[in-house]
Amino acid sequence: DARRMDRFTQFAVVAVGEALSDSGLEIDDGNRGRVGVILGTGIGGIGTLLKGAEALAERGPHWVSPFLIPMMLPDTGAGQVAIHFGLRGPNMAVVTACATGANAIGEASEMIRRGAADAMVAGGSEAAIVPVALAGFNVMDAISTRNDDPQRASRPFDRDRDGFVLGEGAAALILESWDHARSRGARILAEVAGYASTNDAYHMSAPLEDGAGASDCMRLALADAGLAPTEIDYINAHGTSTRLNDVSETSAIKAVFGEQAYNIPVSSTKSMTGHLLGAAGAVEAIFSILALRHGMLPPTINYEAPDPACDLDYVPNHSRPAKIRHVLSNSFGFGGHNASLILSEPPPNGDR
């Protein structure tokens, strides 16, 4: 089976298997029709596409794999997960560039809210470390050129940042309705309390300088959760380590939270993982849930030289304990896509 899957799909199947095992959710004929999948990717099977192009150029059309098309399509991850685990509920792939993972989680929660499913597998997967992708990001001046010092290259909000470091992998979460989770005695880690999605309607790869699209998204997520800005205890930032994003996101946070912005810890875990593109939002949702569970703020590493335009508390270089009840996680993507999730600790008695 693995030979008939692009690496992004392989990552997705493994991540979902681990998530299902950790959740204790058993799939059988009685529930498989009520368990769905929303699993996204930013780029899809680019490695498979390149191999096909090479075979065509070097040996001719008959040497192109008959599995090329189904392996490269962005929806293959969601489809293969459904096949592998026998999930017959709602199924789709989200493709919103680097907002994909967060949108997948948010849209999966909406599926459950409206009663279309009892449980959803949600997340993102990416395997784009290939020469053409690196070249494309490089000519956009999007990735760091600190090739002599890769461990310190990803430095969100730092004055000397010069782009992101490309990462790859997958992350998956199991979402359930409160009634479904409680009826089976699930270990509830967090609640998707709020979700919103907007667009800048401005530029394909640059954010609005004032972050207006992102600030709108955060406000809508707060309203969806029924929370005031003062109730957010931590922000997991999109924080790509690019010149444009980090200033724009800082401005957006200030627009939403006002003076309170200076009292809210903000960190970018991309400083440690690199940028997983379509998987980033799902990975960062897990970081946010772990922060809730353990009362520990993840740091922004490689933060050495403050940027006057980025003047918030970025939890520099070291994690620190904190009382965390509500986390805001931001994800933004090429095409002007914005997605914000609010993840909250579940009520102590599990009532909702």
**Distance from C-alpha of 40 to C-alpha of 50, rounded to nearest angstrom:** 20
Residue in 98, 310, 326, 337 annotated catalytic: 98
**Distance from C-alpha of 274 to C-alpha of 168, rounded to nearest angstrom:** 8
Under 8 Å between Cβ of 173 and 314: no
Under 8 Å between Cβ of 328 and 218: yes
Residue in 180, 238, 326, 337 annotated catalytic: 238
Under 8 Å between Cβ of 265 and 313: yes
Instruction: Give the DSSP per-residue string, 298-330.
Output: PPBTT--SBBTTB-S---BSS-EE---SEEEEE
Residue in 180, 217, 275, 337 annotated catalytic: 275
Active site includes 318? no
Closest-CA residue to 105 (of 185, 20, 218, 196): 196
Active site includes 238? yes
Under 8 Å between Cβ of 27 and 98: no
Q: Residue 134: count other Cβ atoms within 10 Å of its Cβ.
A: 13
CA atoms within 13 A on the CB side of 321: 1
Q: Which residues are catalytic?
A: 98, 238, 275
